[in-house]
Structure 1
Amino acid sequence: MKLTSAEKAERRTHFRQQLEQGVEPREAARTATERANNAATASMLMGALEKLPQPPDWYESPEERAVRTEMTNADKGMSATATGAREPLTPDHRETTVVVPHEFVRCGLFGVADPKSSRQHVPHAVFEVYGTNGGTITYCGPELRQDDRQVFFEALNFERSTPGSATATPNQFLVKLGWSRNTESRKKLHACIGRLQDAQLTIEVRRLGRLVIPSLLTHVDVLDDGSYRMKFHDSVRRLYDDNCYTCLRREYEQKLERRSDLARWLLLFYSTHQTPRPIPLATLIELCNDAPEKKYAFKDKLTAALGQLVRVKFLLGWNITRKVDGKSGTEMVEVKRPRMVRFEDQKQ
């Protein structure tokens, strides 16, 4: 509904009063807008009963025009501050799903190394992003694995409740992640958060150009009650532009066996492909950032991981073809998925 200058001024006044009373900015903006709309509706109804003659459009002094312009600009600024800057980083989705940005799960940024092995510092690594247009993610920081990816996506989910930062207790994290609520899991969670703070990356793909994220978590506070309060670099928002994300049902990952990092990586990788094409086995090894001592060792792990994805009903079936004429690098990995449910269907 179009508001008059007076109604907009009243909305701004009410918005500021709400903020002074400690009301959250989004809620303050909502109530102020609702109040202004109600006033505009009442004014319109009264006008319909008795239409007063209005001056022509040009009947406005320079002083009045200057005041009106200033109020309009201030109103736009208030709206941007109250809504645009406070919008969650991730798009709207159901609580039973996790939002997966394609570039993060189509490469080896979050690897699948043996969970028992020690982590290395990565001074410089370039991960190829799988896709028609391709691209790269250049990374510097501690080695990231699937547990770091789980914590990062979960933190983004908590951020939806308090746009601008994510606040959650360790127990809330552990319940959402499906981890045990013991001391070991709490230490693991704390370590993941620390690694995400030190993670620096530069994404270079056609749709984003060159996107620099100096830290996946820019700031982390531990509150008096033990809760974590985490802030993100605003560039994270752009990962979800152009509908380049997938809403994946949480139940799939929750049903996977513990320490099944390759199965988790494959789950998210194939979730971004509605009709997956055959992929060379050697390409999958490079993409998932695994470094098996022998190729057949990875093939055994891959067989077990794909079997898990069938058991949790994420895949209908899979196959690894034989070598062509005995040549190395000719084996292909083929998978078949059920029909992908679009986000619009999920909301119904």
Structure 2
Amino acid sequence: MLATLQRLQTTSVERTEKRQAEETAKILQMPLPIWPESTRGVPNVALRSALFGAIKRGPRRYLSRELVSSVDGYDIRYTGPRLDQSDLDIWEVLLHLARRQALGNHVEASERQLLKEAGRSYGKSGREWLKNVAARLSATTVEIQQGPHSYGGSLVDEFYRNDQAGCYVIVLNSRLQLLFTNEDWTQIAWEQRQKLKRQPLAQWLHGFYSTHANPFAMKVATLHRLSGSEAKKMYHFRAELRDALACLQGATGWSYEIDANDLVHVHKIPTPSQARYLNKTKEPKD
């Protein structure tokens, strides 16, 4: 009797594992969502965490399987040099170029194209900067648990560069596709982001609040943690935050306030897709 029960339990587990494997395989066979040329599609996990932090130029701290600050629902561990908003620029560009083909295929682009897409000038310093970003993105190890799905690997699997021809061949892992499931991604208004170039905290805030249809108030200390800010004193961060929010308002038209309880309120007009989501949540349930 006991042996029969154990066999039934084993069979049930095997069936569950097989079904989950089949569901994952289906996801990986699907192409990335298609978004307009004017936007960049980014998994929310990269925008609602300190994975690409609001850090300034200079020496970078090396992390070893360190837990990255994020909103509830994500568990992120990271190994490698800290990533910043300029690294996110290039990663967004790569996802944009890969969106019409299955991830895992080779993305071919010239140095000039990659720099132009990222809003950088083409020159020796720009080319060296691009080399550093490619090296960082391929040297990382990210472990992400997002709902029932998990991803472990680098943000760029590998890259090839022909210095004489000035071109790159970059390979993205097909399993990154899992980060786009269940509509858990956001279209970033690229022109707005480019207006905030070289303002890392303003860029991070733009990405973070872009993921929210109707942003709720957040404590200054929470934004300090989630953004990965390296400001040691909270009053220093609060001053940086006010400047960044003012820049964000200038680029987007979103308004903001920091109330007496140190809560940050950002008011924005939702995108058409976010407006549909808000309307759907307001519909009465049967």
TM-score under structure 2 normalisation?
0.81
- The alpha-carbon distance between structure 1 residues 85 and 103, as it changes in their structure 2 partners (threshold 3 A), is closer
Does residue 341 (structure 1) correspond to residue 272 (structure 2)? The answer is yes
Out of 93, 117, 125, the position equivalent to 1:176 is: 117
Do the aligned residues in 2 keep the contact of 1:140 with 1:199 (CA within 8 Å)? yes
Instruction: Give yes or no for the alignment of 1:125 onto 2:66.
Output: yes
**What is the aligned partner in structure 2 of residue 212 from structure 1?**
151
Q: Compared with structure 1, are the counterparts of its residues 344 and 154 closer, same or farther at alpha carbon in structure 2 (3 Å cutoff)?
A: farther
Secondary structure of the residue aligned to 2:151 is strand
Of structures 1 and 2, the one scoring higher in RCO (CA 8 A, sep 6+) is 2
Call closer, same or farther: CA 1:296–1:179 in 2, change over 3 Å. same
Amino acid of the residue matched to residue 233 of structure 1? Answer: N
- Residue in structure 1 matching 2:79, options 140, 157, 169: 140
Find the aligned partners of 1:84 and 1:226 in 2 and give their Cα distance: 34
Q: Which residue of 2 aligns with 1:76?
A: none
**Partner Cα separation in structure 2 for residue 98 and residue 160 of structure 1:** 10
How big is the shift at 1:250?
A: 1.0
Residue 218 of structure 1 deviates from its aligned partner by 1.1
Shift of 1:344: 11
Give secondary structure in 1 for the equivalent of 2:192: helix
Cross-structure match for 1:109: 51
Write the distance in 1 (CA, Å) between the matches of 2:227 and 2:247.
17
Which consecutive residues of structure 1, in runs of 5 or more, have no partner in the other structure? 1-82, 324-330
Matches within 5 A, 1:235-314: 235-256=175-196, 258-314=197-253
Report how far residue 124 of structure 1 moved: 2.6
Answer whether contact 1:278 1:335 (CA < 8 A) is retained: yes
Residue 222 to residue 162, structure 1, CA distance change in 2 (3 Å) = farther
Q: More strand by proportion, 1 or 2?
A: 2
Q: How many Å separate the matches in 2 of 1:344 and 1:303?
A: 27
Match of residue 259 from structure 2: 321
Q: Which has the larger radius of gyration?
A: 1
Residue 110 of structure 1 deviates from its aligned partner by 0.5
Shift of 1:162: 5.2
How many Å apart are 1:151 and its aligned residue? 0.6
In the alignment, is the contact (CA less than 8 A) between 2:213 and 2:271 conserved in 1?
A: yes
Deviations 1:122-174 (A, max 9, x none): 1231123214xx23101111111111111111011122355412111110011
Q: Which residue of 2 aligns with 1:157?
A: 96
Q: CA deviation at 1:86?
A: 7.1
The alpha-carbon deviation at position 313 of structure 1 amounts to 2.2
State the shift of 1:84 in Å. Answer: 8.9
- Tell me whether 1:332 sits opposite 2:263 in the alignment: yes
Normalising by structure 1, report the TM-score.
0.67
Question: Aligned match of 2:173 in 222, 230, 233?
Answer: 233
Unaligned runs of 5+ in 2: 1-25, 277-286
